[in-house]
Structure 1
Amino acid sequence: MIINKTIGSMLIIAGTTIGAGMLALPIASSGLGFLTAMVILFFAWCLMTYTALLTLELHQHAPPNATLNTLAKNILGKKGQFIANFSMIFLFYSLCAAYIAGGGGQLQLMLSNWSAGEVPPQTGAIAFALLFGSIITLGASTVDKINRVLFIIKVMVLTSIFFILTPHIQGEYLLNMPMQQGLIISAIPVIVTSFGFHGSIPSIVKYMGFNIQSLRKVMIIGASMPLVIYLFWQIVSQGVISQQNLYDSQGLDGFIASLSSLLQSSAIANTLTIFANLALATSFLGVSLGLFDFFSDVLNKGDSNKDRFITALVTFTPPLGFALFYPQGFIMALGYAAIALVILAIFLPVLMVWKQRRKTLDTAIQSGVNMYQVRGGKVALTTAAVLGVFIISAQFMQMLGMVPVIH
């Protein structure tokens, strides 16, 4: 049973991480060259995996069902709790609204193709929210089962994409150096965000129970799977299209159009669209599960049908409303999501662990209890905080026009 939950939790972490944003990676890193992009990806993986382990260290001092709300309140007080809650809600509502808008659009397209007449755009968003919202409301076990099926299909589709693109790789394309130094700074927030799964950690702890050995495996392997897939994805995407053409691609649609034109095949466009839909679905499951459990903790709701229904309304109604009436606002907010993610996934874990270690050091020595502690000490904590400041600075530099903007 533990092994089964461990594997399922790894796939939830990986599925949340390998989202629709993965398709933006080649565009974001197009001006860097393959080697530079992979170096940044590796360091982003190290940083985000480290802070995920810091979050586990915090959970050993809290109840099994604790979320960021409880952790921040217990360790940082009400001010820290407010910052944590605001960052969590801003980031996850933004992501959920974008996923509902994107997934709803794709669903509306499918329904229009199946039906005789045109299906209103709102229908797809409502159907998407109801379908996946129902899955989330049923609990982590149901999400685990559905996510496994979607993740396996997603890997199969991705494998077929690799199979189609690999024969067209040009070795010299992979040796390109950065086109502009400023592009390195511009790409960092996007690349770091591609490892953003931290909001799902409390749900995983609640689902598995606090078994530090199993949870460490979940975090490390769950985060490593995307790194390996990103490696192959960067090879085929940056190796097939020249650096300049990839850089000139206007967003995901332009990237898919470039590949289709280059290979003179519509199959790659259809396959990439299927992958994008699956990636969006698994990301939405992981993100909304974390948000659901967060609100369950904030609202002090239990697992009764009535309580879960109320929590579901709070979780899904606001992002659905914005996706229906003002999708542009939340899509634009995704440009600032990296800032909320850095606060949520880097600054808060580092600050809370720093305070918690000072608080529990004397107690641990007196009682002789061995507490789990992530290696690296104060040097690693300080380094993570400094890197967080740099990532936010990179985002602000883009907003102020000091470095090229990633489209």
Structure 2
Amino acid sequence: MLKNKTIGSMLIVAGTTIGAGMLALPIASAGLGFSTALILLVLSWLLMTYTALLMLELHQYANVDSTLNTLAKSILGKKGQYIANFSMVFLFYALCAAYIAGGGAQLQSKLSDLLNINVAPQVGSIMLAITIAIIVTAGTSTVDKLNRLLFTVKIIVLACLFFVLTPYVQGAHLLDMPIEQGLIISAIPVVFTSFGFHGSIPSIVKYVGLDIKSLRRVMMFGASLPLVIYIGWQLLSQGVMSQSNLLSSQGLQGFVQNIAEIAHNPSVSTFVTLFADLALATSFLGVSLGLFDFFADAFKKGDTKKDRVKTALITFLPPLGFALFYPQGFIMALGYAAIALVVLAIFLPVMMVWTQRKDSVIRNGYRVKGGNVGLVIAALCGLTIISAQTLQMFGAIPSLG
């Protein structure tokens, strides 16, 4: 049973990480060259895996159902709790709103084609939000089973893309160097955000139990699978197209169109669209599950049917409302998501572990390697990511895409 939950949890981590943002990686790293993009991917993976393990070090001394809310309050006090709550809610509401808006538009388009009538854009968003809300309210086990199915299909679709595109990879394209040094700094927040899954860690701990050995496997394998897939995706996208073609692609649609033309295969567009749908679904499930459990803990809601419905309303109604009435505002807010993720996935784990390790009562137990030096390096990496995002916002370095 534990092994089954461990495998399922690995796929939840991987599914949450490999979201629709993966499709933006080739465009975001278009001017970097493959080798530079590879270095950024590996460094981001190391940083996020390290901080995920820091979260496990914290959870081993807490209740199995503890979330970031209770951890921050018990270790950092009220101020730490407020910072944790704000960063969690801001980031996850923004992501959920983007998923509802983007996924709703895709669903609306498919319904219009299927029914041969003009379906209102809001219908797709409402249907998607209700569907995901029902699944998440049913519990982590339900999310696990559905996520396994979706993730398996997603990998099959990705394998089909690899099979179709691999013959068109040109080694010369992979040797390109960055065309502008500032683009390297600009790409840091985008690559970093593509490894974000930390909000789902408390839900996984609650699901698996406080078995640190199993949880370490979940975090390390769950984060490693996206790294392998990202590297393969970069290898294909940057190997098939030159830097100039990548840079001239008008967003995702232009990127997909260019690849389909190079491969002389219109099914490439179908594969990419299907992959985007599946990536959005698995990522939305993981993000909303983490937010659901966070609110259940913050508002002291139990596991009764009535309480879970109340938690679902708190989780899904606000992002649905913003997605329906202010979709552009939340899409703009996603530009700041990297800053909230730095606070959530780097600064808070580092601060809490630093504080907890000074407690003389805590002597034995699991400790992430690296000591205080590792904590300082992680914090400096977080400052670098925020600086890169800030410089880009003020136009000091080139914008991506």
Deviation at 1:263, TM superposition (A): 2.4
Residues 209-220 of structure 1 aligned to structure 2 (within 5 Å): 209-220=209-220
Deviation at 1:283, TM superposition (A): 0.2
Q: Structure 1 residue 384 and structure 2 residue 382: aligned?
A: no
Q: Structure 1 residue 396 and structure 2 residue 396: aligned?
A: no
Q: What is aligned with 1:350?
A: 350
**How many residues are paired up?**
401
C-alpha distance in structure 2 between counterparts of 1:63 and 1:5, whole Å: 19
Deviation at 1:251, TM superposition (A): 1.6
Q: What is aligned with 1:405?
A: 399
Q: What is aligned with 1:14?
A: 14
Q: What is aligned with 2:283?
A: 283
Cα displacement string for residues 338-391 of structure 1 (whole angstroms, at most 9, x for unaligned residues): 0000000000000000001001xx2245xxxx2111010010000000010000
Q: What is aligned with 2:366?
A: 372
Cα displacement string for residues 134-157 of structure 1 (whole angstroms, at most 9, x for unaligned residues): 000000000000000000000000
Query: TM-score of the superposition, structure 1-length normalised?
Result: 0.98
Deviation at 1:113, TM superposition (A): 1.1
Describe the SS at the equivalent of 1:132: helix
C-alpha distance in structure 1 between counterparts of 2:123 and 2:111, whole Å: 9
Deviation at 1:250, TM superposition (A): 2.2
Q: What is aligned with 1:98?
A: 98
- What one-letter code is carried by the residue in structure 2 that aligns with 1:357? R
Cα displacement string for residues 96-130 of structure 1 (whole angstroms, at most 9, x for unaligned residues): 00000111111111111111311111000000001
Q: What is aligned with 2:311?
A: 311
Q: Which stretches of structure 1, 4 residues or more, deviate above 6 A after TM superposition?
A: none
Cα displacement string for residues 177-210 of structure 1 (whole angstroms, at most 9, x for unaligned residues): 0010000000000000010000000000000111
Q: Percent identity?
A: 66
Root-mean-square deviation (CA, aligned residues, Å) is 0.7
Q: What is aligned with 2:269?
A: 269
Cα displacement string for residues 229-267 of structure 1 (whole angstroms, at most 9, x for unaligned residues): 111101100000111110121221121121122223321
Deviation at 1:20, TM superposition (A): 0.3
Describe the SS at the equivalent of 2:361: helix
Q: What is aligned with 2:250?
A: 250
Residues 335-346 of structure 1 aligned to structure 2 (within 5 Å): 335-346=335-346
- What one-letter code is carried by the residue in structure 2 that aligns with 1:112? S
C-alpha distance in structure 2 between counterparts of 1:383 and 1:276, whole Å: 34
C-alpha distance in structure 2 between counterparts of 1:222 and 1:247, whole Å: 31
After TM superposition, the structure 1 stretch with the greater mean CA deviation from structure 2, 244-253 or 271-280, is 244-253
C-alpha distance in structure 1 between counterparts of 2:262 and 2:225, whole Å: 29
Describe the SS at the equivalent of 1:371: coil
Instruction: Assess if the C-alpha contact under 8 Å between 2:136 and 2:288 holds in 1.
Output: yes
Instruction: Assess if the C-alpha contact under 8 Å between 2:52 and 2:198 holds in 1.
Output: yes
Cα displacement string for residues 47-79 of structure 1 (whole angstroms, at most 9, x for unaligned residues): 000000000100012111110000000011111
After TM superposition, the structure 1 stretch with the greater mean CA deviation from structure 2, 186-195 or 255-264, is 255-264
- What one-letter code is carried by the residue in structure 2 that aligns with 1:379? V
Q: What is aligned with 1:27?
A: 27
C-alpha distance in structure 2 between counterparts of 1:138 and 1:189, whole Å: 34
C-alpha distance in structure 2 between counterparts of 1:152 and 1:375, whole Å: 33
C-alpha distance in structure 2 between counterparts of 1:378 and 1:96, whole Å: 35
- What one-letter code is carried by the residue in structure 2 that aligns with 1:169? V
Q: In structure 2, which of residues 361, 364, 368 is the aligned counterpart of residue 363 of structure 1? A: 361
C-alpha distance 364-72 of structure 1, shift in aligned 2 (>3 A):
closer
Q: What is aligned with 1:150?
A: 150
C-alpha distance in structure 2 between counterparts of 1:6 and 1:241, whole Å: 38
Could you list the runs of 5+ residues in structure 1 that have no partner in the other structure? none
- What one-letter code is carried by the residue in structure 1 that aligns with 2:139? G
After TM superposition, the structure 1 stretch with the greater mean CA deviation from structure 2, 110-119 or 170-179, is 110-119
Q: Structure 1 residue 129 and structure 2 residue 158: aligned?
A: no
Cα displacement string for residues 201-227 of structure 1 (whole angstroms, at most 9, x for unaligned residues): 000000011100000000000000000
Instruction: Assess if the C-alpha contact under 8 Å between 2:68 and 2:294 holds in 1.
Output: yes
Instruction: Assess if the C-alpha contact under 8 Å between 2:100 and 2:129 holds in 1.
Output: yes
- What one-letter code is carried by the residue in structure 2 that aligns with 1:222? G
Deviation at 1:337, TM superposition (A): 0.1
- What one-letter code is carried by the residue in structure 1 that aligns with 2:131? L
Instruction: Assess if the C-alpha contact under 8 Å between 2:164 and 2:263 holds in 1.
Output: no
Q: Structure 1 residue 195 and structure 2 residue 195: aligned?
A: yes
C-alpha distance in structure 1 between counterparts of 2:116 and 2:373, whole Å: 63
C-alpha distance in structure 1 between counterparts of 2:41 and 2:116, whole Å: 46
Cα displacement string for residues 282-304 of structure 1 (whole angstroms, at most 9, x for unaligned residues): 00000000000000000000000
Query: TM-score of the superposition, structure 2-length normalised?
Result: 0.99
- What one-letter code is carried by the residue in structure 2 that aligns with 1:178? P
